[in-house]
A and B are shown apart, each in its own frame.
Chain A
Amino acid sequence: MRVIIIGLILLVSVIGCKDNEVTEPAQIAPEIVSLTASKTEIKIGEISELKCEAKGENLEYLWNVFLGDIVPVNADASIVNYSGYECCAGPKTITCKVKNEAGEVTESIVINVLE
């Protein structure tokens, strides 16, 4: 019985110590180095790969377009695919917002969807 109790105390101590790692908040606001597209003109249903290169810590990406579809490609979503169906013909402005605890920055790029 004593062995079980000691074992449980040790187990709780080990588990309890695990969550002590705290991520330090970023001190410097992010900066977008470049926002590029593999194609700036695409046909309906075709894909253009967009890459947002940014400097900073703990970066979070948020993408938006009025019409069309954005699909994240990598884990942090710094790379996405854009495509548009028939509703989205014409020039479409895609924005990439990058933010962390210290601030945020937005950049945009225009992709022309051809009918």
Chain B
Amino acid sequence: MKVYPFFILLLILGFNSNNTYAQCCAAGTPNCDNGLANGSGKHVLSLSLGHQYSYSDQYYQGTTLFESNYIKNSFFHFGSLRASYGVTEKLKLVLDLGHFYSKAQTLEQSNYFREAKGLADVGISGLYTLYNKNNLQLAPIFRLTLPFGQFDQKFGPVILPIDLQPSAGSLKSSAGLYSAYKLKDNWSLALLGTYEISNKIETEHTSYKYGGLTNLRLIANHKFNKSISAGLHVWYQNRERAEDQFKELINATGGQLLFVCPTAAYNYKDWRLSARYELPVYKNMNGTQLTNNHRIAVRLTRSINLDKDRIIDSLNLNVSGVCGMCKTRIETAALLNPKVVTANYDLGTKILNIKVSTDFNKNTLIESLLAAGHDTENQKATEEAYDALHFCCKYRE
């Protein structure tokens, strides 16, 4: 498989970069993953809870590590709630909410510890699939980050600096393109490119404008089986310099970064548990800036097919079975299909009655029944599947 060398190279990069670091936490909601692109179909609602931890304790000047005794370390714990919904087959909307349990720094000066806590900003994103054929998906995306979180928060008698505030303090808008390509052997590749602009912050205590932000992500993913998948993201980020209250560029802001992020996910029915480790492998900072060592993110997602309750049809299917155990097995196999709402097998008539929702595919159901060892109207289960049945379920003469 052609993708293997690429994947292995990225893994090598990812696990041999202990001496490189990346950008510290920026103000506001941390931008960590490409959750927008994670799939969900029409009328599928996905709800997820996430947690991120980031730790920073190194200064970087240009491309080199720099000894400094200014800020000793900086970290944050961030909890998030995400809701995504497939409005149509093509349009998906995502709502992100978050809360900083702790966003803190310790200065070298007197070991002074300062901390912010509170609501982060609200993100609203959309992805519209323009093209989805021949295993290729192309979709423009947009995102608005609304500054509803806590800003100009103080710690004791001092207003906290902007990079510790839970909110970014300004409206941010971004747009870009997502493209995904399904490869053979359960491999997939995706490319996500966005550009973000920010409005100027003008409050009683702060006057500041973030520089533009370019993000490019290359995502390779492999599905090992029904439950387990893993991948690697290569993430390039270019942040332009910020402006102060006099509209002058601030020298020590912005820079170029390259991250490698191994990911893993475990799926069980409608649940998905995913984890991601974010590791900077290259950095070129403007001036001297505090940079981070790593970031870890975990997320638990539950998908709910709202179509499941919308019964549009009732079907009868002849299925072979002889006992109560068969009845349970047949009905369970049918109900595992997300488009099947109810299933009832009549042992006397050998008929399986199912009520189904939109986009139901009969062939998929038949495959499931055959795999469970039960013959259907025109097709027979394999000898292997049949042999696996309990002796009391042997319906063939």
Looking at B68, B161, B245, the one whose CB has the most chain A CB atoms below 10 A away is B161
Q: How far is the CB of A111 from chain B (nearest CB, A)?
A: 15
Residues of A within 8 A of B91 (CB): none
Is A45 positioned at the interface, with any CB of B under 8 Å from its CB? yes
Residues 64-91 (chain A) with a chain B CB within 8 angstroms? 64-72, 77, 80-81, 83, 85-87, 89-90
Residues of B within 8 A of A47 (CB): 109
Is B5 positioned at the interface, with any CB of A under 8 Å from its CB? no
Beta-carbon contact of B251 and A71 below 8 Å = no
Q: How far is the CB of A84 from chain B (nearest CB, A)?
A: 9
Is B288 positioned at the interface, with any CB of A under 8 Å from its CB? yes
The answer to whether A63 and B70 touch (CB under 8 A), given A69-B107, A71-B112, A86-B252, is no
**A interface SS class:** strand
The answer to whether A87 and B253 touch (CB under 8 A), given A62-B154, A62-B159, A72-B158, is yes
A62→B206 CA distance, assembly (Å): 14
Q: How far is the CB of A2 from chain B (nearest CB, A)?
A: 50
A64→B158 CA distance, assembly (Å): 6
A69→B252 CA distance, assembly (Å): 15
The answer to whether A66 and B110 touch (CB under 8 A), given A45-B70, A77-B157, A87-B250, is no
Residues of B within 8 A of A77 (CB): 156-158
Beta-carbon contact of B109 and A63 below 8 Å = no
Q: How far is the CB of B103 from chain A (nearest CB, A)?
A: 15
Beta-carbon contact of B250 and A64 below 8 Å = no
Q: How far is the CB of B70 from chain A (nearest CB, A)?
A: 5
Is B318 positioned at the interface, with any CB of A under 8 Å from its CB? no
Beta-carbon contact of A67 and B109 below 8 Å = no
The answer to whether A85 and B207 touch (CB under 8 A), given A77-B157, A80-B158, is no
Q: How far is the CB of B113 from chain A (nearest CB, A)?
A: 10
Q: Tally the A-B contacts, defined by beta carbons under 8 Å.
A: 68
Beta-carbon contact of A87 and B252 below 8 Å = yes
Beta-carbon contact of A86 and B251 below 8 Å = yes
Residues 67-83 (chain B) with a chain A CB within 8 angstroms? 68-71
Is A60 positioned at the interface, with any CB of B under 8 Å from its CB? yes
A69→B158 CA distance, assembly (Å): 9
A62→B204 CA distance, assembly (Å): 13
Interface string of B144-172 (1 = CB under 8 A from A): 00000000001011110100000000000
Residues 1-26 (chain A) with a chain B CB within 8 angstroms? none
Interface string of A34-68 (1 = CB under 8 A from B): 00000000000101000000000000111111111
Q: How far is the CB of A70 from chain B (nearest CB, A)?
A: 5
Residues of A within 8 A of B71 (CB): 85
Looking at B69, B157, B206, B288, the one whose CB has the most chain A CB atoms below 10 A away is B157
Looking at A45, A60, A70, the one whose CB has the most chain B CB atoms below 10 A away is A70
Residues of B within 8 A of A69 (CB): 107, 109, 161
Beta-carbon contact of A83 and B109 below 8 Å = yes
Residues of B within 8 A of A66 (CB): 205-208, 244-245
Is B39 positioned at the interface, with any CB of A under 8 Å from its CB? no
Residues of A within 8 A of B109 (CB): 47, 69, 71, 81, 83
CB-CB nearest in chain A for B110: A71
A60→B157 CA distance, assembly (Å): 8
Is B287 positioned at the interface, with any CB of A under 8 Å from its CB? yes
Beta-carbon contact of A89 and B251 below 8 Å = yes
Beta-carbon contact of A63 and B158 below 8 Å = yes
Residues of B within 8 A of A70 (CB): 158
Residues of A within 8 A of B287 (CB): 86-87
Q: How far is the CB of A38 from chain B (nearest CB, A)?
A: 14
Residues of A within 8 A of B156 (CB): 72, 77
Beta-carbon contact of B157 and A72 below 8 Å = yes
Residues 193-217 (chain B) with a chain A CB within 8 angstroms? 205-208
Quick one: which of B158, B205, B245, B252 contacts A85, CB cutoff 8 A? B252
A72→B206 CA distance, assembly (Å): 20
The answer to whether A64 and B288 touch (CB under 8 A), given A81-B109, A86-B252, is no
Write 28 A-B pairs (CB below 8 A) sorted by A numbering: A45-B70, A62-B158, A62-B159, A64-B158, A64-B205, A65-B159, A66-B205, A66-B206, A66-B207, A66-B208, A68-B161, A70-B158, A71-B107, A71-B110, A71-B112, A72-B158, A80-B158, A81-B110, A85-B252, A85-B288, A86-B251, A86-B287, A86-B288, A86-B289, A87-B252, A87-B289, A89-B252, A90-B248
- Interface, chain B (partner A; CB < 8 A): 68-71, 107, 109-110, 112, 154, 156-159, 161, 205-208, 244-245, 248, 250-253, 287-289
Known pairs A66-B208, A71-B107; list 9 more (Cβ under 8 Å). Answer: A45-B70, A62-B154, A65-B159, A66-B244, A66-B245, A71-B158, A81-B110, A86-B252, A87-B289
